Amino acid sequence: MERYAILVAGGKGLRMGGDIPKQFLPIGGKPVLMHTIEVFRQAYPDIHIVLVLPAPQQDYWLKLCRDYDFAVPVQIADGGETRFHSVSNGLKLIPDDAVGLVGVHDGVRPFVAIETIRRCYEEAMDKGAVVPVISVVETLRQLRKDGASVTVPRDEYKLVQTPQTFRISLLKEAYQQSFVPSFTDDASVVEALGKPVYLVEGNRENIKITTPADIRFVNGLL
Protein backbone atom coordinates (compact mmCIF):
# COMPACT_ATOMS: atom_id res chain seq x y z
CA MET A 1 0.00 0.00 0.00
CA GLU A 2 1.26 3.46 -0.93
CA ARG A 3 0.69 6.73 0.87
CA TYR A 4 0.49 10.10 -0.85
CA ALA A 5 0.01 13.62 0.47
CA ILE A 6 -1.18 16.46 -1.73
CA LEU A 7 -0.14 19.74 -0.12
CA VAL A 8 -2.12 22.63 -1.55
CA ALA A 9 -0.32 25.98 -1.30
CA GLY A 10 -1.95 28.56 -3.50
CA GLY A 11 -1.92 31.59 -1.21
CA LYS A 12 -0.91 34.98 -2.59
CA GLY A 13 -0.30 36.62 0.79
CA LEU A 14 -2.88 39.38 0.31
CA ARG A 15 -4.27 39.15 3.84
CA MET A 16 -0.71 39.25 5.15
CA GLY A 17 -0.30 42.73 3.75
CA GLY A 18 2.92 41.85 1.92
CA ASP A 19 4.27 40.54 -1.34
CA ILE A 20 5.50 37.16 -0.06
CA PRO A 21 2.84 34.41 -0.20
CA LYS A 22 2.05 33.10 3.27
CA GLN A 23 3.35 29.59 2.54
CA PHE A 24 6.83 31.06 2.06
CA LEU A 25 6.94 33.27 5.16
CA PRO A 26 9.63 32.20 7.64
CA ILE A 27 8.72 30.76 11.02
CA GLY A 28 11.26 29.15 13.28
CA GLY A 29 14.05 29.83 10.82
CA LYS A 30 12.51 28.42 7.62
CA PRO A 31 9.44 28.83 5.41
CA VAL A 32 6.05 27.61 6.61
CA LEU A 33 5.78 25.09 3.78
CA MET A 34 8.99 23.34 4.74
CA HIS A 35 7.66 22.72 8.24
CA THR A 36 4.51 21.21 6.75
CA ILE A 37 6.42 18.90 4.43
CA GLU A 38 8.70 17.75 7.23
CA VAL A 39 5.89 16.76 9.59
CA PHE A 40 4.41 14.46 6.93
CA ARG A 41 7.80 12.86 6.40
CA GLN A 42 8.11 12.40 10.15
CA ALA A 43 4.74 10.66 10.24
CA TYR A 44 5.58 8.41 7.25
CA PRO A 45 9.18 8.56 5.95
CA ASP A 46 8.20 6.82 2.70
CA ILE A 47 5.22 9.05 1.88
CA HIS A 48 5.01 10.51 -1.64
CA ILE A 49 4.48 14.27 -1.49
CA VAL A 50 2.80 16.24 -4.26
CA LEU A 51 3.13 20.00 -3.81
CA VAL A 52 0.58 22.15 -5.62
CA LEU A 53 1.86 25.67 -6.31
CA PRO A 54 0.81 28.42 -8.72
CA ALA A 55 3.12 28.24 -11.73
CA PRO A 56 4.60 31.74 -11.15
CA GLN A 57 5.71 30.70 -7.64
CA GLN A 58 7.49 27.47 -8.52
CA ASP A 59 10.86 29.01 -9.38
CA TYR A 60 10.78 30.93 -6.11
CA TRP A 61 10.11 27.69 -4.22
CA LEU A 62 13.07 26.00 -5.91
CA LYS A 63 15.26 28.97 -4.96
CA LEU A 64 14.12 28.65 -1.32
CA CYS A 65 15.01 24.97 -1.40
CA ARG A 66 18.52 25.86 -2.51
CA ASP A 67 18.83 28.69 0.01
CA TYR A 68 17.73 26.50 2.92
CA ASP A 69 19.45 23.34 1.65
CA PHE A 70 16.03 21.66 1.69
CA ALA A 71 16.30 18.36 -0.16
CA VAL A 72 13.05 16.53 0.65
CA PRO A 73 11.82 15.11 -2.69
CA VAL A 74 8.45 16.38 -3.89
CA GLN A 75 6.53 16.39 -7.14
CA ILE A 76 5.17 19.79 -8.17
CA ALA A 77 1.77 20.34 -9.77
CA ASP A 78 0.34 23.59 -11.06
CA GLY A 79 -2.22 25.39 -8.94
CA GLY A 80 -5.65 25.83 -10.49
CA GLU A 81 -8.38 28.44 -10.57
CA THR A 82 -9.94 27.03 -7.38
CA ARG A 83 -8.93 24.55 -4.71
CA PHE A 84 -10.93 21.91 -6.59
CA HIS A 85 -8.85 22.43 -9.71
CA SER A 86 -5.61 22.51 -7.72
CA VAL A 87 -6.34 19.18 -6.06
CA SER A 88 -7.40 17.74 -9.41
CA ASN A 89 -4.02 18.73 -10.86
CA GLY A 90 -2.25 17.13 -7.91
CA LEU A 91 -4.18 13.90 -8.32
CA LYS A 92 -3.01 13.62 -11.93
CA LEU A 93 0.53 13.02 -10.63
CA ILE A 94 -0.64 9.91 -8.76
CA PRO A 95 -0.71 6.86 -11.04
CA ASP A 96 -4.20 5.61 -11.82
CA ASP A 97 -3.21 2.11 -10.76
CA ALA A 98 -1.80 3.24 -7.40
CA VAL A 99 -3.29 1.33 -4.48
CA GLY A 100 -3.34 3.10 -1.16
CA LEU A 101 -4.29 6.36 0.51
CA VAL A 102 -4.01 10.05 -0.24
CA GLY A 103 -4.34 12.91 2.21
CA VAL A 104 -5.06 16.45 1.03
CA HIS A 105 -3.62 19.07 3.35
CA ASP A 106 -3.38 22.84 3.46
CA GLY A 107 0.27 23.77 3.00
CA VAL A 108 -0.14 26.55 5.56
CA ARG A 109 -1.10 24.18 8.38
CA PRO A 110 2.41 23.39 9.67
CA PHE A 111 1.29 22.35 13.14
CA VAL A 112 -0.77 19.32 12.27
CA ALA A 113 0.27 16.69 14.81
CA ILE A 114 2.03 13.54 13.69
CA GLU A 115 -0.64 11.63 15.63
CA THR A 116 -3.39 13.41 13.67
CA ILE A 117 -1.77 12.48 10.34
CA ARG A 118 -1.38 8.84 11.33
CA ARG A 119 -4.92 8.69 12.72
CA CYS A 120 -6.34 10.00 9.43
CA TYR A 121 -4.44 7.50 7.29
CA GLU A 122 -5.16 4.55 9.57
CA GLU A 123 -8.89 5.29 9.72
CA ALA A 124 -9.08 5.95 5.96
CA MET A 125 -7.62 2.51 5.34
CA ASP A 126 -10.70 1.04 6.99
CA LYS A 127 -13.43 3.59 6.23
CA GLY A 128 -12.32 5.00 2.89
CA ALA A 129 -12.90 8.70 3.64
CA VAL A 130 -12.12 10.62 6.83
CA VAL A 131 -11.61 14.22 7.92
CA PRO A 132 -10.04 15.48 11.16
CA VAL A 133 -12.23 17.73 13.28
CA ILE A 134 -12.18 19.54 16.59
CA SER A 135 -15.04 20.57 18.85
CA VAL A 136 -16.49 24.07 18.85
CA VAL A 137 -15.72 25.80 22.14
CA GLU A 138 -17.32 29.21 21.45
CA THR A 139 -21.03 29.92 21.42
CA LEU A 140 -22.50 29.84 17.91
CA ARG A 141 -25.23 32.07 16.55
CA GLN A 142 -27.06 31.52 13.27
CA LEU A 143 -27.90 34.56 11.14
CA ARG A 144 -31.50 34.90 10.02
CA LYS A 145 -32.81 36.55 6.87
CA ASP A 146 -34.53 39.28 8.91
CA GLY A 147 -31.16 40.42 10.27
CA ALA A 148 -31.63 38.82 13.68
CA SER A 149 -29.71 35.79 14.96
CA VAL A 150 -30.32 32.81 17.24
CA THR A 151 -28.06 30.63 19.36
CA VAL A 152 -27.55 27.12 18.03
CA PRO A 153 -26.28 24.10 20.00
CA ARG A 154 -22.53 23.96 19.47
CA ASP A 155 -22.33 20.24 20.25
CA GLU A 156 -24.04 19.63 16.90
CA TYR A 157 -21.13 21.18 14.98
CA LYS A 158 -17.46 20.46 14.39
CA LEU A 159 -14.61 22.52 12.92
CA VAL A 160 -13.02 20.74 9.96
CA GLN A 161 -9.26 20.54 9.46
CA THR A 162 -6.89 18.70 7.13
CA PRO A 163 -5.45 16.28 6.01
CA GLN A 164 -8.70 14.99 4.59
CA THR A 165 -7.75 11.45 3.72
CA PHE A 166 -9.21 8.94 1.26
CA ARG A 167 -8.58 5.79 -0.67
CA ILE A 168 -6.84 6.91 -3.85
CA SER A 169 -9.38 5.27 -6.14
CA LEU A 170 -12.28 6.98 -4.34
CA LEU A 171 -10.80 10.47 -4.51
CA LYS A 172 -9.83 10.07 -8.15
CA GLU A 173 -13.38 8.99 -8.96
CA ALA A 174 -14.80 11.95 -7.05
CA TYR A 175 -12.63 14.42 -8.93
CA GLN A 176 -13.96 13.21 -12.27
CA GLN A 177 -17.08 15.26 -11.47
CA SER A 178 -17.55 18.73 -12.89
CA PHE A 179 -16.84 21.58 -10.50
CA VAL A 180 -19.71 23.24 -8.66
CA PRO A 181 -19.39 26.09 -6.11
CA SER A 182 -20.57 23.85 -3.26
CA PHE A 183 -17.26 21.93 -3.50
CA THR A 184 -15.55 23.78 -0.66
CA ASP A 185 -13.28 20.91 0.40
CA ASP A 186 -12.46 17.35 -0.59
CA ALA A 187 -15.08 15.84 1.68
CA SER A 188 -17.83 17.76 -0.13
CA VAL A 189 -16.57 16.42 -3.47
CA VAL A 190 -16.64 12.83 -2.19
CA GLU A 191 -20.07 13.29 -0.60
CA ALA A 192 -21.42 14.40 -3.99
CA LEU A 193 -20.83 10.81 -5.10
CA GLY A 194 -23.13 9.64 -2.33
CA LYS A 195 -20.21 8.28 -0.30
CA PRO A 196 -20.06 8.75 3.49
CA VAL A 197 -17.25 10.71 5.12
CA TYR A 198 -16.23 9.86 8.68
CA LEU A 199 -14.76 12.05 11.42
CA VAL A 200 -11.55 11.56 13.39
CA GLU A 201 -10.01 13.67 16.12
CA GLY A 202 -7.77 16.53 14.98
CA ASN A 203 -5.53 18.76 17.08
CA ARG A 204 -6.32 22.32 18.10
CA GLU A 205 -2.87 23.65 17.15
CA ASN A 206 -3.53 22.65 13.53
CA ILE A 207 -4.50 26.17 12.49
CA LYS A 208 -4.51 27.55 8.96
CA ILE A 209 -2.13 30.49 8.76
CA THR A 210 -4.03 33.39 7.21
CA THR A 211 -3.24 36.66 8.99
CA PRO A 212 -0.22 38.37 10.61
CA ALA A 213 -1.70 37.46 13.99
CA ASP A 214 -1.47 33.78 13.00
CA ILE A 215 2.26 34.20 12.28
CA ARG A 216 2.79 35.66 15.75
CA PHE A 217 0.83 32.78 17.26
CA VAL A 218 2.75 30.03 15.48
CA ASN A 219 6.07 31.65 16.32
CA GLY A 220 4.94 31.47 19.92
CA LEU A 221 4.18 27.76 19.49
CA LEU A 222 7.65 27.17 18.09
Q: What digits encode the pLDDT tens for the residues 95-129?
A: 999 999 999 999 999 999 999 999 999 999 999 99
Quick one: CA torsion of 85, 88, 90, 92, rounded to 10 degrees? Answer: -140
- The domain spans of the chain are 2-221
Is residue 124 within 8 A of residue 64, CB to CB? The reply is: no
* pLDDT of 206 over the 60 cut: yes
Global confidence as pTM: 0.93
Considering only CA atoms, which of 105, 161, 119 is closest in space to residue 136?
Answer: 161
Is residue 2 within 8 A of residue 48, CB to CB? The reply is: yes
Residue length of the chain: 222
Convert the pLDDT of each residue in 165-192 to its tens digit: 999 999 999 999 999 999 999 999 999 9
Mean pLDDT of 75-84: 96
Q: So what's the pLDDT on residue 14?
A: 47
Whether the link from the prior residue into 26 is cis, omega within 30° of 0, is: no
14 vs 12, higher pLDDT:
12
Q: So what's the pLDDT on residue 151?
A: 96
Q: Which CATH architecture has domain 2-221?
A: Alpha-Beta Complex (3.90)
